[in-house]
Amino acid sequence: MPLEPISLNDGNKIPAIAYGTGSKMKYHDITQYIEQAIEMGFSHIDTAVFYQTEKYVGKAIKESGLARSELFITTKYPREIPIQKSIRESLANLGLQYLDLYLIHQPQFIPDLIEAWKEFEKVQQDGLVKSIGISNVLNVQQLEHLIEVSKVTPAVNQIELHPYNYHKMKSIMDTCSKHNIVVEAYSSLAPITTYPGGPVDAPLRAAAHRIGATPTQVIFLWVRAKGAVIVTTTTNKAHMAEYLAVAELPALTDEEVASIDAAGAKGPPSGIVTRLRLMNTKEKLLGVVAGTMFMVYGAFGLGRLMYPY
């Protein structure tokens, strides 16, 4: 049974987990992976003009044979193209008549965000999109001002969110909550993929042991405990199943969530330590050889030949 959809402030609903097509998938033909994700049970597909994956999402949608109402499609507006032109190009790439969710990708780079948002309100009024929102708005004052001068409050704010940056994101998340703006969370697996061996590992393992889950699933349960939509990606079918199986797991306790928060507030491991943990054996060996060569050359006064500057 899938995760319960989340109600948006405009009356629509959004699936609680999305299959993203950014990250390492950008600029590649990923049709087979989107098709696989849909077959596995993902109904929410997240793309963007910047990713250059819209046409592959469109191809996968067509191949799926599913009714339009069975899928929830999000894409994001860049900034180089007029909005009215960009939305129609996106719809053409996706082979759709409307979007479920349309986001301004990087509002901080939009010369006039208020005018851009008015155009978003217009495309929604014209029926080209059901819901409109923003992505990567981290400034509370910017968000409050946008809400104050707009007719339509953003339905969604998609941000990077994981235990190590939660304390920095809390103020913007609290502001979103105040205005019933749903947060979508990407890069939530950073404690595992980018910062392994950090203080968050212990509470993740403890919760995983209690409920019979993986640390990855515990992170997604933590995201859900924060009321956020999970935006994740993988090319691995087993991982897709692992992610979707979160729906069958019990919720984390308040104590477990607090423990993860507290560990995350300590910060991730240092960059060099993290890099060493992520390096494979061959990379470590090459590093040792290079370091030894540098010391030998230096001992004979030949270091200048290798590093003249």
The full length of the chain comes to: 309
- Which one-letter amino acid corresponds to residue 207? A
Identify residue 150 by its one-letter amino acid code. Answer: S
Alpha-carbon span 117 to 103, nearest angstrom: 10
Cα–Cα distance for residue pair 237/35, rounded to 1 Å: 11
Q: Which H or E run contains 184?
A: strand 182-186
Closest by CA to 171, choosing from 143, 210, 212, is 143
Judge whether 54 and 105 are in contact, CB under 8 Å.
no
| Catalytic site residue from 19, 27, 33, 51 | 51
Is 186 noted as a catalytic residue in this protein?
A: no
Provide the token pair at 58. Answer: 């469109």
Which of the 8 DSSP states describes residue 103?
E
Quick one: angle between helices 113-125 and 83-94, nearest 10? 50
Neighbours of 149 (CB within 10 A): 11
Neighbouring C-beta atoms of residue 306, cutoff 10 Å: 10
- Which amino acid type is present at position 58? G
C-alpha–C-alpha distance, residues 177 and 99, integer Å: 24
Structure-derived torsion over alpha carbons of residues 106, 107, 110, 112, reported in degrees to the nearest 10: 170
Q: Is 70 exposed, middle or buried (0-12, 13-18, 19+ CB in 10 A)?
A: exposed
**Distance in angstroms between the alpha carbons of the first and the last residue of the chain:** 62
DSSP assignment letter at 49 = T
| Residues taking part in catalysis | 51
